[in-house]
Amino acid sequence: MSIPVSFLRSAALAALLMAGVGSAFAQQPAAPAPTAPTGPSVEEIMKTPFLPSHLAVANDVLKASGMRTMFENSMPNVVGALRVNVTRQRPELAKVIEECLAIVEKESGNVMNEGVTSAARFLAVRMSEAELKDVNTFLNTPSGKKYVEILPLFMDQVMPFIEIWSEESGARLSKIFQDEMAKRGHKL
């Protein structure tokens, strides 16, 4: 049960909800393309000045929510991929490759911390330091810790339900729409 999977499941949940709404109106003309997310660009976020305390509490929220583990878990994958790919291409250099990868593994901690600090900026730009402190306080309560702990299991269970619900709801709303159009003399 890892939080990165939960994060992906959350994104999938949002996509399923949007797909369900879309299928409900499948007979309608296509809607205009969605607009870009509002708010500052990545470049603007990275240049925005923050108090160190603001970034520190945003980092604490990432850790308490389990989101920091996405960064922690990605580093072994990078090193492992390098190990497999380079050793496969140049097996005669296996010893030298391992020596170099030991240095890369040591540096991966710094790289991971840079990623977390950058991610903290995305929270800090959208929430005040006081709001982040409130979130962090909740996440560190027994209820907040339980929420973080059960979220992956919840997503595992709710995703199949949402998929079925989305299809059934789309069909139901589409039928209501077709019936209403028929009442007005328009058979679809």
pLDDT, one tens digit per residue, over 115-159 is 888 899 989 999 999 999 999 999 999 999 999 999 888 989 999
Spatial distance between the Cα atoms of 108 and 100, rounded to a whole number of angstroms: 12
HSE-up of residue 8 (Cα within 13 Å, Cβ side):
6
**Eight-state DSSP code of residue 31:** P
pLDDT at 175 over 80: yes
- Is there a contact between 57 and 136 (Cβ–Cβ < 8 Å)? yes
Which amino acid appears at position 176 of this protein?
Answer: I
pLDDT at res. 42: 86
Spatial distance between the Cα atoms of 179 and 183, rounded to a whole number of angstroms: 6
Residue 39's pLDDT band (cuts 50, 70, 90): confident
- Looking at per-residue pLDDT, the higher value among 181 and 108 belongs to 181
**Which spans in 125-141 are helix H?**
129-139
Mean pLDDT (the chain) is: 81
